[in-house]
Amino acid sequence: MRAAVVHTPGGVESIELVDVPVPTPGRGEIRIAVAAAGVNPVDLATRRGLFHDLGVLTPGTPVGLGWEVAGTVDAVGTDVGTFRVGDRVAALVTDLSAPLAGYAEYLVVGADAAATLPDDLELTAAATLPLSALTADQALTTSGVRAGETLLVTGAGGMVGGYLVQLAARQGVEVIALATDADEPVLREFGARAVLDRDIDVPAAVRALRPAGVDAVVDAANIAAPAVDSLRPDGTYVGLLPAFAPTAPRVHVATVEVRADGRRLAELARSGLTARVAEVVPLADVRRAHEIAEKGGLRGRLVLVP
């Protein structure tokens, strides 16, 4: 089978398509015939060597790319619960050091990281859920924000931010979204009460709407200080990059490292979240996909198909 790996971090040329044996599922594992894999910022960071620089990965070790996939179960190990061959599933892959990941024709994952999908959810759309929607869901829970309170979402035009707006609005939270003017119509549809341009004075704009500050921030754009300064005293800041969490003594600071949760992923897949697919690219063109992703400006997720 074909899979995309990186031996030496660098530019898009460092991505290699290699032929490797089809993996065999063991106890508690299922094998997925991959139909779609999301291309996420973390994949670009892995390829460039961020996790090597942080000491998480060992130089020279081949690393697979791709944290989220959707496809069909084509083999099962023992003790996999209700999963059966032929099930349509999505799954999150969080093992950074794995030599194979989602950019592949087949992938073995723990059954507890996978979720069955409703028949009406396209697999390309489902491939945008495991990383982005679970991150959004876990960040929202970490924020502790409740119905009637106000949440600022930075990077709301991105995938995590877009899912955050939808999930928070459904819970009765008043959402202020930080994005671009072009993102405003869709974010309003998602339930945002206000959409602020990301290039303005963020704390001033937020306090023009909420003079005391917002109750919580999920900083999907990692703007740090302006997000912290938008909070009320004793509010909660939630970051998505633990290594870059700000120091903010007057507020609560928390970070989220997404964890696999097949049960919750199944619920999210059935919840009617709007999944945005910007473009579908063949796995053979994975380097081009990374080039497109690096240019930015996408409204939705790039998805690779074998």
Indicate if 186 and 202 belong to the same structural domain: yes
Indicate if 100 and 143 belong to the same structural domain: no
Indicate if 167 and 217 belong to the same structural domain: yes
Question: Which DSSP helix (H) or strand (E) runs through 34?
Answer: strand 29-39
Indicate if 35 and 176 belong to the same structural domain: no
pLDDT of amino acid 153:
98
Indicate if 194 and 143 belong to the same structural domain: yes
Indicate if 94 and 161 belong to the same structural domain: no
Last residue of a domain, one of 255, 276, 293: 255
Indicate if 213 and 126 belong to the same structural domain: no
Domain of 296, in residue numbers: 2-131+260-305
Indicate if 96 and 180 belong to the same structural domain: no
Indicate if 223 and 287 belong to the same structural domain: no
Number of domains comprising the chain = 2
The parts of the chain modelled with pLDDT lower than 70 are none
What would the pLDDT profile of 136-171 be if each residue is shown by its tens digit? 999 999 999 999 999 999 999 999 999 999 999 999
What would the pLDDT profile of 48-60 be if each residue is shown by its tens digit? 998 888 888 887 7
CATH classification of the domain holding 237: 3.40.50.720
Distance CA 44, CA 27 (A): 31
pTM of the model: 0.95
CATH classification of the domain holding 50: 3.90.180.10
User: What percent of the chain lies above the pLDDT cut of 70?
Assistant: 100
Indicate if 172 and 270 belong to the same structural domain: no
Q: Are 30 and 75 spatial neighbours (Cβ–Cβ below 8 Å)? A: yes
Indicate if 127 and 19 belong to the same structural domain: yes
3-state helix, strand, coil in the chain (%, to 5): 30, 30, 40
What would the pLDDT profile of 186-211 be if each residue is shown by its tens digit? 999 999 999 999 899 999 999 999 99
pLDDT of amino acid 95:
87
Contacts of 24 (CB under 8 A, 6+ apart): 31, 75, 108
pLDDT of amino acid 247:
86
Indicate if 266 and 148 belong to the same structural domain: no
